[in-house]
Amino acid sequence: MNQPLLVTATQKAGPKLSLAIGAVVLLVLVALPLLSLLPDGHALQVSAYTLTLVGKILCYAIVALALDLVWGYAGLLSLGHGLFFALGGYAMGMYLMREAAGDGLPAFMSFLSWSELPWYWAGTQHFAWAMCLVVLAPGLLALVFGYFAFRSRIKGVYFSIMTQALTFAGMLLFFRNETGFGGNNGFTNFRTLLGFDITAQGTRAVLFLLTVALLVASLYLGWRLARSKFGRVLTALRDAENRLMFCGYDPRGFKLFIWVLSAVLCGLAGALYVPQVGIINPSEMSPTNSIEAAVWVALGGRGTLIGPLLGAGLVNGMKSWFTVAFPEFWLFFLGALFILVTLYLPKGVVGLLKKRGEQ
């Protein structure tokens, strides 16, 4: 909760301090899993609950960053990014289920008295192939959807509605037992990951560190893209697509590239989320989840890279407090937050801080 204050200070002191603060935050994030390895009862020990909670929020932060790339830069508001996140998660979950089931069938299939694995489960016992699926499933879906959507020049609110419909359709599909992904229960009761006990402190610490690494890598990638000519073309695309076409750029390729990249980032985040949280089910694809992701980005500040991370942290931090203190009011609060941000903070928290800093 003290991050906004830090950023205010940052704006006053310039880039050197903001680098220093970034380094401190990174240091804390790296220290957390190490502290969790301390013996029980030690004063500095970080509980498994805290570590999982922060790890989960970091995964959400990656989704926020991915959404910001397409919404903040290219102006494509996706209300279906939860689908890509869940697909990555399910791909990882398939591997974990196979690992838990050993040579037999995953438990939910035995309940359905299936005798053999559906064809699309082939090879999922191999970690490497599961990792390929983590990238391919969201990536190919985004490629096909994006190709047709951008070819037909669908944009604005129509595009948002279609992405929302897509994730809803995905949720309904995955809810069915016949689809072969565990129906509404999804996947759970994971045991091991590459032979390591998934609930062991050491495994949790490594997964957490991997999440931090992915977040840092995504941030770096986003920063490089935003600074490249490619990033400027995206901004131009957002503001004046016609002008860009008459300058000789084909917008479709640019949109498709950033769209697929964003989906793949979400898939990777989902793959790291599942083993940390220990469950994946179709509710991850529910439309509200994707809308919530848009709230993170809007609250933090579109097109600012750091803003969405802040937004994801703030909203999820508030959520974990709210859902304990006033569980029935959380959704009202979230809705009110979105309305307030749209009305009074068009550039989000980061925009507000920048303004303060300039005054």
Partner 1 sequence: MRFPSIHPEFMLEPIIDEGSGRDAIGLGQVVSPGLDARHGTVLTLEDINVSFDGFKAINGLNLYIGVGELRCIIGPNGAGKTTMMDVITGKTRPTSGKAWFGDTLDLTRMSEVQIAQAGIGRKFQKPTVFEALTVFENLELAQKTDKSVWACLGARLSGEQRTRIDEVLATIRLEPSRNRPAGLLSHGQKQFLEIGMLLMQDPQLLLLDEPVAGMTDAETEFTAELFKSLAGKHSLMVVEHDMGFVGSIADHVTVLHQGSVLAEGSLAQVQADDRVIEVYLGR
- Interface residue list for partner 1 (CB under 8 A): 143, 147, 151, 225, 228-230, 232-233, 235-236, 238-240, 242-250, 252-254, 256-257, 260
The interaxial angle of helices 15-36 and 3-13, nearest 10 deg, is: 150
**3-state secondary structure string, 267-299?**
HHHHHHHHHHHCCECHHHHCHHHHHHHHHHHHH
Cβ 57 to partner 1 shortest distance, Å? 29
Cβ 297 to partner 1 shortest distance, Å? 17
Cβ 248 to partner 1 shortest distance, Å? 4
Q: 37 or 236, CB closer to partner 1?
A: 236
DSSP per-residue string spanning 61-96: HHHHHHHHIIIIIT----S-HHHHHHHHHHHHHHHH
Q: 92 or 258, CB closer to partner 1?
A: 258
Residue 192: phi and psi, rounded to 5, are: -130, 155
Cβ 186 to partner 1 shortest distance, Å? 29
Of 103, 108, 74, which is closest to residue 90 (Cα–Cα)?
108
Q: 56 or 238, CB closer to partner 1?
A: 238
* Residue 94 to residue 104: CA distance in whole angstroms: 13
Q: 191 or 238, CB closer to partner 1?
A: 238
Q: 51 or 234, CB closer to partner 1?
A: 234
Cβ 240 to partner 1 shortest distance, Å? 5
Q: 81 or 347, CB closer to partner 1?
A: 347
* Residue 11 to residue 19: CA distance in whole angstroms: 11
H helix intervals, 188-280: 201-227, 229-239, 241-246, 251-277
Cβ 304 to partner 1 shortest distance, Å? 12
